[in-house]
Amino acid sequence: MMSTWTKVANVDDVLENGGSCIKVGNEHIAIFNFDNKTVWYAIENTCPHKKQSVLSRGLIGEDGGEPKVACPLHKNAFSLKTGKHLGGNEEWTVKTYPIKVENNEIYLNV
Ligand code: FES
């Protein structure tokens, strides 16, 4: 399958150690960076609990070495690596997307 990388932002446009919401086509994607923009993750922005587009505003952290985001509404937490709900509800897995940074530019493969 062809992979298509789309430039979505410049590194300097996003906050350090937090999330931002990016629209690519019809998809709203939450991108996150850790350690002052050295480690990046991308997941769908919609929380599966109440279908709200809020995950980019969630609190990021780690759970036993697993990077995670907690939804700002009811605190359900999701792995940023796998998209899995860390409370064990398999129906609540969110999509994850490949993300890369080159020359200070952020690219998503959607
Ligand atoms: S909407 Fe995200 S935890 Fe309820």
pLDDT of 1: 61
What is the spatial distance between Cα 101 and Cα 12, in angstroms, rounded to a whole number?
12
**Whether this model's pTM surpasses 0.85:** yes
Give me the count of residues in the chain.
Answer: 110
Kindly state the percentage of the chain with pLDDT values over 70. Answer: 99
User: Can you give the residue range of the structural domain that contains 96?
Assistant: 5-109
Q: Which of 71, 85, 94 to mutate to test the pocket of ligand 1 (most atoms within 8 A of CB)?
A: 71
Location of structure tokens 């509800």 = 89
pLDDT digits (tens, 9 = 90+) for 75-85: 999 999 999 99
The CATH code of the domain that includes 26 is 2.102.10.10
Tally the domains of the chain. 1
